[in-house]
């Protein structure tokens, strides 16, 4: 494992202190309840470590992209689920700043946990406003950032506040950066990266940064259609970025020039439409034979077998992004198979990098069979691209 340079909550005695903890509770909601509590569970070790050592904790998070105060984006369902996980009622404060909030913080005792209301109800949050950060910091002794999923944002609660209060990384932040750092700095080989998702444009930088590090790069999902187009294949009605075909061709050249292996689909599942009706008429085709009136919706069985063999031989596997239209059950087979293949290779370091890939391993009940399941989609990709994460940079080195 790569060493972690930032100071963490292990480096401070929080006893008797009031601690502002930035968490990432930006979770999906359904019918007023938390639909996936992965990110909430991931923050529990930090919350418990602080409270068990005598701290009073106020948790701060965003939820969605509200335009001002919006009851539909309240963290009330999160407070309810967090309370169930901690086995005690968690109060949701009416705001994240202001006299009432400060009074409530003043009343906190050792071991108490409260949740502040959605920090993005204030537009100053996303502007990294220093005056707003000062308001957030009032009444607190320490700042802890455990929100890896928001670490790529320079916001008031992830960056500016860390210049006001003594700042530390939480245990999840440490875990994320250690796991992702180790596959970049010292991967066990062979190292296979599987990159899927809809668009090449959003993953160009991560593909380029991974090429020198991996032994095999497997490309799937909608973005693979652009690669297929770049190799002269017809992709019918498939989602494709024609203006990115040149970049896809250059990536193929770079992989082959570095004597690495690139895996593109050799067969695909295609359907006349990307919906349940289309699912009834889906057919498997060789990549050279996709008809004009069909759209590629998943990888085919020969491609699945190719990915299986690569994962089976690997000692390190990084996966980000579904390889089919994952939200429709009939088009999710390839994505589910990748999750299963990774789970079936216990000797490998297996890292799942955020987003729908996490949903796939969680729904399949395989998350605990992975070495690391990242809570940060955009943050994990930016970290792998070698970009500076403002939320990490703001924490002093140990």
Strand partners, 352: 319, 373
Alpha carbon distance 197, 323 (integer Å): 6
Q: Which one from 7, 48, 199, 369 is the annotated catalytic residue?
A: 199
Q: Are 365 and 373 in contact (CB under 8 A)?
A: no
Could you confirm whether 378 is annotated as catalytic? yes
Measured in degrees and rounded to the nearest 5, phi and psi for residue 166 equal: -55, 125
Query: Of the listed 300, 355, 376, 377, which one is catalytic?
Result: 355
Write the CB contacts of 264 (distance below 8 Å, at least 6 apart in sequence): 219, 224, 227, 228, 231, 287
Closest to 20 (Cα-Cα) out of 137, 134, 130, 100: 137
Which of 7, 208, 378, 387 does the annotation list as catalytic? 378
CB 282 within 8 A of CB 271: yes
Helices (H), 264-318: 276-279, 301-313
d(CA 12, CA 7): 9
Q: Is 39 a catalytic residue?
A: yes
State the DSSP H helix or E strand holding residue 46, giving kind and residue range, or none if neither: helix 38-52
**Three-state SS at 240:** coil
Active site residue 199: yes
- Residue 30: both structure tokens together: 């359904």
- Catalytic entry in 6, 17, 18, 39: 39
Active site residues: 39, 199, 355, 378
């Amino acid at each position: 494992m790569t060493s972690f340079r930032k100071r963490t909550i292990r480096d401070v005695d929080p006893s008797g202190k009031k601690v502002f903890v930035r968490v990432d509770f930006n979770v999906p909601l359904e019918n007023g309840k938390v639909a996936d509590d992965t990110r909430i569970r991931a923050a529990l070790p930090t919350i418990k470590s602080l409270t068990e050592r005598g701290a009073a904790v106020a948790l701060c998070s965003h939820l969605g992209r509200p335009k001002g105060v919006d009851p539909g984006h309240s963290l009330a369902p999160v407070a309810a689920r967090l309370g169930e996980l901690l086995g005690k009622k968690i109060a949701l404060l009416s705001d994240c700043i202001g006299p009432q909030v400060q009074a409530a913080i003043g009343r906190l005792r050792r071991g108490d946990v409260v949740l502040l209301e959605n920090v993005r109800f204030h537009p100053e949050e996303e502007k990294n406003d220093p005056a707003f950060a000062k308001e957030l910091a009032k009444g607190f002794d320490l700042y802890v950032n455990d929100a890896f999923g928001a670490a790529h944002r320079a916001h008031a609660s992830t960056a500016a506040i860390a210049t006001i209060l003594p700042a530390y990384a939480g245990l999840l932040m440490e875990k994320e950066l250690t796991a992702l750092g180790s596959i970049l700095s010292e991967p066990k080989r062979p190292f296979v990266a599987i990159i899927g998702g809809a668009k090449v444009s959003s993953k160009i930088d991560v593909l380029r940064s991974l090429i020198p590090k991996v032994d095999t790069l497997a490309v799937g999902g909608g973005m693979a259609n652009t690669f297929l187009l770049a190799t002269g294949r017809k992709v019918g009605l498939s989602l494709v970025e024609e203006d990115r075909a040149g970049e896809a061709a250059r990536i193929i050249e770079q992989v082959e020039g570095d004597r690495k292996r690139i895996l593109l689909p050799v067969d695909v599942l295609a359907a006349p439409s990307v919906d349940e009706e289309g699912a009834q008429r889906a057919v498997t085709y060789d990549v050279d034979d996709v008809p004009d009136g069909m759209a590629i919706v998943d990888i085919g069985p020969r491609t699945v077998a190719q990915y299986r063999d690569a994962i089976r031989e690997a000692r390190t596997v990084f996966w980000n992004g579904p390889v089919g239209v994952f939200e429709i059950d009939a088009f999710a087979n390839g994505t589910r198979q990748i999750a299963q293949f990774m789970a079936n290779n216990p000797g490998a370091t297996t890292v799942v990098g955020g987003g729908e890939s996490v949903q796939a391993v969680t729904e399949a009940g395989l998350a605990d069979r992975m070495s690391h399941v990242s809570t940060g989609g955009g943050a994990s990709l930016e970290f792998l691209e070698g970009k500076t994460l403002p939320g990490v940079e703001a924490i002093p080195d140990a």
